[in-house]
Amino acid sequence: MQQVLIQHISNLLGTQILDTTPVSGGDISQAYRIDTNDKAYFVKTNPGHSAFSMFEAEKKGLEAILSSNTIAVPEVLLTGEFQGQSFLVMEMLEHRRATPDDYEKLGYQIAQVHLVSSPRFGFDDDNYIGSLPQKNNWHNKWTDFYIHCRLVPHLEMAFSRSLISQAEIPPARKMEESLEALFEGIKPSLLHGDLWNGNYLIEKTGTPYLIDPAVYYGHSEVDIAMTKLFGGFGDSFYKAYHAIIPLDDKSHARIEIYKLYYLLVHLNLFGRSYYPQVKRIMETYFN
């Protein structure tokens, strides 16, 4: 981290920074632990043109989860820009490997998050999924929201990047016809929005925390789809979760369709290695 930025953050915190250590923090931003006289902080920095709005969206997402009174999130202390660098400062959490009991607690608390509802699908602000923009326009119908705020933007992005052909993009009407029956009766739930195994941690005392959200109100199975896409959630997580929010006979198909959104995101972020999975799901449900 640049010394001038360290000094700027030190001034904002009102304390002397004694040490700065790079830590793992994802592919998008640089992450650091900073130690002061009395405590440690977690800092992300990014020089990108949209980095400040990304950090602001992350802060709003964490605040939305915090206000649900369901699960812990790290406290955000600062967001800002200084000499071309955007930054976000949060409390530093010491964490450990999850045990079956931890997964059970996490599953229970994620279910509590999903029980928080809203009259409509969407969110007050657009935000980001990874480094890509995520539309959250309010919709009354889940089918409309999922097609027009999730699938269509990323199908169009993939076409613009020559990752899929125009002929492979299903017409919106075709998607509506395919999804209408599967999406019948779905109610809005508060979602983390990007619930892969790098976006939760178990604090050293055993408290689950959620980090790096892409929050909105959608179908609860969207978060479950992301947990299954890359794994990293123990069996006790699903047992505890589904004791509160059970699966039904349409869940498997819906979860596959929800995986499609995240696979399109990864296709647009990381390239053609995700194309075969995208193609398989689209051919299965939209042909």
- Whether 282 and 257 have beta carbons less than 8 Å apart is answered as no
Strand ranges inside 74-227, DSSP E: 76-82, 85-91, 95-96, 127-129, 132-134, 189-191, 200-203, 208-210, 216-218
User: C-alpha distances in angstroms, 55 versus 60, 65, 129, 187?
Assistant: 9, 15, 12, 29
Exposure on the CB side of residue 10, measured as CA atoms within 13 A: 17
From the candidates 194, 212, 223, 248, which is the catalytic residue? 194
Report the C-alpha gap between 233 and 200 in whole angstroms. 10
Give the helix/strand (H/E) hosting 109: helix 100-114
Token pair of 151, please?
Answer: 């699938």
- Residue 16's SS3 state is coil
Q: Is 194 in the active site?
A: yes
Report the C-alpha gap between 150 and 254 in whole angstroms. 14
Report the C-alpha gap between 200 and 26 in whole angstroms. 13
Report the C-alpha gap between 129 and 9 in whole angstroms. 27
Report the C-alpha gap between 237 and 227 in whole angstroms. 10
Catalytic residues: 194
